[in-house]
Amino acid sequence: MFVQSAGFVERHQGRVNQLSIYGQELNANTWKLAQMNLAIHGLEGDLGKGAADTFFEDQHQGMRADYILANPPFNMKEWGGDKLVEDVRWKYGLPPAGNANYGWMQHMIYHLAPKGKLGLVLAYEDELRLVVYENKFIVSNWQKKEDITTPSKA
């Protein structure tokens, strides 16, 4: 997603060196791959000091972003929400303990600057949802999975 964002900025006459890239990953191997992917594409980013649980060890607590693009793990059932009841990120209420989707959404909203915008890909049951957050409005657009097609390998 970082590399695609940089390409988008360049195609629209922006300056990639003005992007600040932040991320966090729980899996150590995936964290290393993300670091390598940034380096291969000549991008710099802050992916934290190492692999860590975003909900319990937020490595970017003070960061507030103008734009956030995210694709967190879908439908995590055991995410530890019951241990985060008083968390400052739950601006819109306590996320359900059995599904982290609303926790992810509120985590990202917490990290937005006052006029920031968020694009977040989530799945719920048999639907994929793109959640767009802008100026305190949340809009969901969904498609059933069977309506999503992939290019054939001809």
pLDDT above 80 for 133: no
Does the pTM exceed 0.75?
yes
Structure tokens of 4?
């695609």
* Residue 48, domain member (yes or no): no
β-sheet bridge partners, residue 144: 127
Q: What is the pLDDT of residues 9-38, one digit of tens each?
A: 777 677 777 788 899 999 999 999 999 999
* Residue 6, domain member (yes or no): no
* Residue 89, domain member (yes or no): yes
* Residue 79, domain member (yes or no): yes
Q: What is the pLDDT of residues 49-102, one digit of tens each?
A: 999 999 999 999 999 999 898 888 888 999 999 999 999 999 888 998 888 988
Q: Distance between CA atoms of 129 and 132, rounded to whole angstroms? A: 9
* Residue 15, domain member (yes or no): no
pLDDT at res. 64: 96
* Residue 39, domain member (yes or no): no
Contact 12, 4 (CB under 8 A): no
pLDDT at res. 78: 93
* Residue 35, domain member (yes or no): no
pLDDT above 60 for 139: no
pLDDT at res. 134: 61
Overall average pLDDT of the 111-133 stretch? 75
pLDDT at res. 126: 59
Q: Which domain holds residue 104?
A: 53-147
pLDDT above 50 for 149: no
Find the DSSP H helices in 24-79. 28-40
* Residue 12, domain member (yes or no): no
pLDDT band at 129 (very low <50, low <70, confident <90, very high): low
β-sheet bridge partners, residue 134: 117, 137
Higher pLDDT residue, 150 or 122? 122
Quote the number of domains for the chain: 1
Q: Are strands 65-70 and 137-144 parallel, antiparallel or unpaired?
A: unpaired
